[in-house]
Structure 1
Amino acid sequence: MDKLMDNPWFIKILALLLAVLFYFSVAPTDKKFSDVNVPGKQTTETIKAMPVKVYYDVNNLVVTGIPRTADITIKGPVSHVQSAKTLKNFEVYVDLTNAKIGKQKVKLKVKDLSDKLKATLKPASVNVTVQEKITKEFKVEAEMNSGQIEDGYSAGSPIIEPKKVKVTGAKDVIDQITYVKATIDEKSKLSETTTKEARIQVLDKVLNKLNVIVEPETVKVTIPIKSNSKTVPINVVNKGTSPAGVTIESIELDEKEATIMGNEEVLKNTESVRVEVDLSKISENTTLTLPVIISNGITKVTPQTVKATVVVKKQEEKTVSGVPLKVRGLPDKYKAEITDPASQTINLVVNGPSSSVTGLRQEDFTVFIDLTGLVEGIHDVKIQVEGPSNINWKPDKSSAKITITNNA
């Protein structure tokens, strides 16, 4: 046995037998799969969405119309088809290295595919446009929504850096450029000067975005923000009527002025704000907290409330009786007799601050009738009263009846 193991032919024959046994033990019994390795067996497969490369002068030309992908159907020996499908070690391309400027129809081609395979492309050819590539400089406009500005503030003219950008593309596309905008996308409201990075958008006249290369792609935009404010006086407006016996002596505010905010036109036409004091509810000295009232269009006021100190004087009413009725303006040649009131006196109902009314007497008032220009006869003459300036009064009669006669 040892001699057989030393014989090289015995070892080779034994290895062959083992290989045959191993093959039959692992080989599939399904004929469908075993046919894969049958020499000369043909098959067809379609590979979808194979990338399409294009070769052209990228520095001076722009090409449009090339599809991003194409479907390729390959036919040939099973092993080659399966290998190509798995590895995709070939290329679908369009060769425009010698293409002329203008529209043209070109074929899609395949390279690096095994010569044992036949390929069919879909699409097989495409219509392309080859154009001259140009670069042109454009001024950038800043674009932002006015709704991004906080109420009571306004935006000045944006400052753009750089002011111009270079746009590269096909000549006919460059000729369509109408707007080059730096669009500011800011979600929060702006209340102070802000600098933002803004992306450039290149648009035609109907605001379609154009397929071009922009350098730089973004610019810095500074938006000057200023407060629209104005300082105006706070006016006191009295509403209603004071209760009987109460006089408002003074109303003093702890803040005399307010700062208002709004758009410039509204501020221009606003000269003051106000607080309203309801006199009907005030019967004694008091301090009120009142809202500052603003007109339409004012967005903010500072302060929003003020304190109003109200000082009142309580009034007293009394009757001063028997005030003598005097005659004025009667020439010496005449004599006048007061026939009504027969007592030749009147009564006055007076009211005012208690301190002023309490001590009033007849002597504090002058009640008279003015007979200037009157002649003989019977006359009704208006009764007039003079008295202290800080009180009110009312006589119990408004006129007197007199008889004028000649002294001669």
Structure 2
Amino acid sequence: MDNWLKSPWVIRGLSLAMAILLFTAVRLDDNIAPPDDSKTFIPSGSEQIETMNNVPVNIEIDEENYVVSGVPENVNMNIEGPNSSVTPLVRQRSFEVFVDLQGLEPGTHTVEIQYSGIPSDINVEMEPKTAEVTIEERATESFPVEVDYINPSQLADGFEIGDASAEPQTVEVTSSQSEVDKVAVVKAYVDLKDVDKPIDSREVPVKVYDSQGNELSVRVEPETVEVSVDINSPNKEVPVETVTKGELPDGYSIKSMEVEPSDVKVYASEENLANIEQIETEEIDLSKITEATTMEVSLAPSTDMRLVEPEQVKVQIELERTETSTIENVPIDVHNLPEDATLNFIEPEEDEMNVTALGTEEELDGITASDFQLSVDAGSLAAGEHKLPVSISGPDGVAVEPEFEEITVQIE
């Protein structure tokens, strides 16, 4: 036995046999096909079983005059037969699944789902096998197309929607009469996000909706329309009005306040634009100004303004020293004193007082008592002593401080 195993021919033969076995194992592994989730393959001798899912169902009907509902879009099929018939059928899909509705009257019918193009040696099972369908006479009506908008609030700044039109202005909607009766509105939607110029003949799909806003599955002819939309940008130039708060440090007054640019462009609707006469700045705090200065100041657009260009202006402020001047013996006028009453001044003792005027040297130059008006209202006063506030007016730009803010009088 040992001598037999030591024979070189025996060893060579065993090696050859092992090589053949290894080669055969590799070939068998390469020929195993990966699984297909859409099909189930069960070998049974020369027989083969396949499952085909989502096979489309065709409808045979007079489409010019009728519409149908209730037909499933797809069916699942189990087929069994010889390998030589099943394999090419599955690969080529050279068959048809359909419902034959030719000759049926309008109404509801239970019909068989049929097939053709499958060899007679193949057994077929389908799920579902039948369908309950409703046949209705086809109806066609014309409807006007409304232009509507997506993202209208996201138009480019300063722009607004103008007139819109669709071409053609009407479309034909075709379906069953019951579906056509549901039509409430036909729309063509235009996306306005970041739009900053007119839309000219943009092709837009047509959508059909019922009164609840549900989109209807109907045939529309044509399926698209060309939409044009005017995109307007109403604007005008208005002057800038500076707004201040606080007071300048003692001893100073504003010599000049210049705005650059003095006019800015304001965008608003046509209606609002007609009522806009000016635009104000944000408040300028005078208490922080101690010398001539130039500053960037933001504008404060009102809520009816969509856009302002530019958004900031330069304000140049020149200061000058404030002067004071005492104006003596300015008359006090008494208004509305009853004819049968007498008024006597207690404080001041006479019907006049001094005032202090504050302003620039230029503003105070040449002013006199006649440039100021002091008055009190004595109407509806009973006899007795009264304190009356003094009303004061004077030259523009000149601040006035009266000797008495209230005077004391006696009514008799």
Please give the root-mean-square deviation of Cα atoms over the aligned residues, in Å: 4.2
Deviations 1:13-38 (A, max 9, x none): xxxxxxxxxxxxxxx9xxxx99735x
- Within a 5 Å distance, the mapping from 1:104-253 to structure 2 comes to 104-145=109-150, 146-186=152-192, 188-195=193-200, 196-253=202-259
Report whether the alignment pairs 1:295 with 2:302.
Answer: yes
**How has the CA–CA distance of structure 1 residues 137 and 391 changed in structure 2, closer, same or farther, with 3 Å as cutoff?**
closer
Q: Scaled by the length of structure 1, what TM-score is found?
A: 0.62
Whole-angstrom distance in 2 between the partners of 1:194 and 1:203: 24
**How has the CA–CA distance of structure 1 residues 151 and 264 changed in structure 2, closer, same or farther, with 3 Å as cutoff?**
farther
3-state DSSP of counterpart to 1:173: helix
Deviations 1:213-258 (A, max 9, x none): 2122111111111124243222233432233332333323343322
**How has the CA–CA distance of structure 1 residues 315 and 179 changed in structure 2, closer, same or farther, with 3 Å as cutoff?**
closer
Whole-angstrom distance in 1 between the partners of 2:232 and 2:43: 83
Residue pair 1:185, 1:198 contacting (<8 A) in 2 also: no
Partner residue, 2:45: 36
Residue pair 1:108, 1:125 contacting (<8 A) in 2 also: yes
The amino acid of 2:320's aligned partner reads K
The amino acid of 1:178's aligned partner reads A
Whole-angstrom distance in 1 between the partners of 2:54 and 2:224: 34
**How has the CA–CA distance of structure 1 residues 103 and 248 changed in structure 2, closer, same or farther, with 3 Å as cutoff?**
same
Q: Indicate which of 21, 37, 51 corresponds to 2:56.
A: 51
Residue pair 1:75, 1:118 contacting (<8 A) in 2 also: yes
3-state DSSP of counterpart to 2:163: coil
**How has the CA–CA distance of structure 1 residues 130 and 238 changed in structure 2, closer, same or farther, with 3 Å as cutoff?**
closer
After TM superposition, give the deviation of residue 310 of structure 1 in Å: 3.3
**How has the CA–CA distance of structure 1 residues 349 and 115 changed in structure 2, closer, same or farther, with 3 Å as cutoff?**
closer
Residue pair 1:151, 1:262 contacting (<8 A) in 2 also: no
Whole-angstrom distance in 1 between the partners of 2:73 and 2:197: 47
Residue pair 1:233, 1:258 contacting (<8 A) in 2 also: yes
The amino acid of 2:166's aligned partner reads I
Residue pair 1:152, 1:263 contacting (<8 A) in 2 also: no
**How has the CA–CA distance of structure 1 residues 250 and 64 changed in structure 2, closer, same or farther, with 3 Å as cutoff?**
same
Comparing 70-79 and 233-242, the one that deviates more: 70-79
3-state DSSP of counterpart to 2:126: strand
Partner residue, 1:100: 105
Partner residue, 2:287: 280
Q: Indicate which of 273, 277, 295 corresponds to 1:271.
A: 277
Whole-angstrom distance in 2 between the partners of 1:356 and 1:43: 113
**How has the CA–CA distance of structure 1 residues 216 and 285 changed in structure 2, closer, same or farther, with 3 Å as cutoff?**
same
Higher Rg: 1
Partner residue, 1:307: 314
**How has the CA–CA distance of structure 1 residues 307 and 173 changed in structure 2, closer, same or farther, with 3 Å as cutoff?**
same
Corresponding residue pairs, total: 309
Deviations 1:168-227 (A, max 9, x none): 2222211111111001134x3223212332110011111222111212211111111112
Give the unaligned 5+ runs of structure 1: 1-27, 326-347, 358-363, 366-388, 397-408
3-state DSSP of counterpart to 1:147: helix
**How has the CA–CA distance of structure 1 residues 312 and 44 changed in structure 2, closer, same or farther, with 3 Å as cutoff?**
closer
The amino acid of 2:216's aligned partner reads L
**How has the CA–CA distance of structure 1 residues 117 and 288 changed in structure 2, closer, same or farther, with 3 Å as cutoff?**
closer
Residue pair 2:43, 2:49 contacting (<8 A) in 1 also: no
After TM superposition, give the deviation of residue 52 of structure 1 in Å: 2.4
**How has the CA–CA distance of structure 1 residues 87 and 296 changed in structure 2, closer, same or farther, with 3 Å as cutoff?**
closer
3-state DSSP of counterpart to 2:45: helix
Whole-angstrom distance in 2 between the partners of 1:58 and 1:261: 55
Whole-angstrom distance in 1 between the partners of 2:132 and 2:234: 59
After TM superposition, give the deviation of residue 153 of structure 1 in Å: 2.2
After TM superposition, give the deviation of residue 63 of structure 1 in Å: 2.0
Q: Indicate which of 239, 264, 270 corresponds to 1:258.
A: 264
Comparing 309-318 and 145-154, the one that deviates more: 309-318
Residue pair 1:140, 1:181 contacting (<8 A) in 2 also: yes
Whole-angstrom distance in 2 between the partners of 1:194 and 1:180: 20
The amino acid of 1:280's aligned partner reads S
Whole-angstrom distance in 2 between the partners of 1:123 and 1:61: 24
**How has the CA–CA distance of structure 1 residues 301 and 92 changed in structure 2, closer, same or farther, with 3 Å as cutoff?**
closer
Q: Scaled by the length of structure 2, what TM-score is found?
A: 0.62
**How has the CA–CA distance of structure 1 residues 101 and 244 changed in structure 2, closer, same or farther, with 3 Å as cutoff?**
same
After TM superposition, give the deviation of residue 287 of structure 1 in Å: 3.9
3-state DSSP of counterpart to 1:280: helix
Give the unaligned 5+ runs of structure 2: 1-27, 29-41, 330-354, 370-394, 404-412
Whole-angstrom distance in 1 between the partners of 2:168 and 2:305: 37
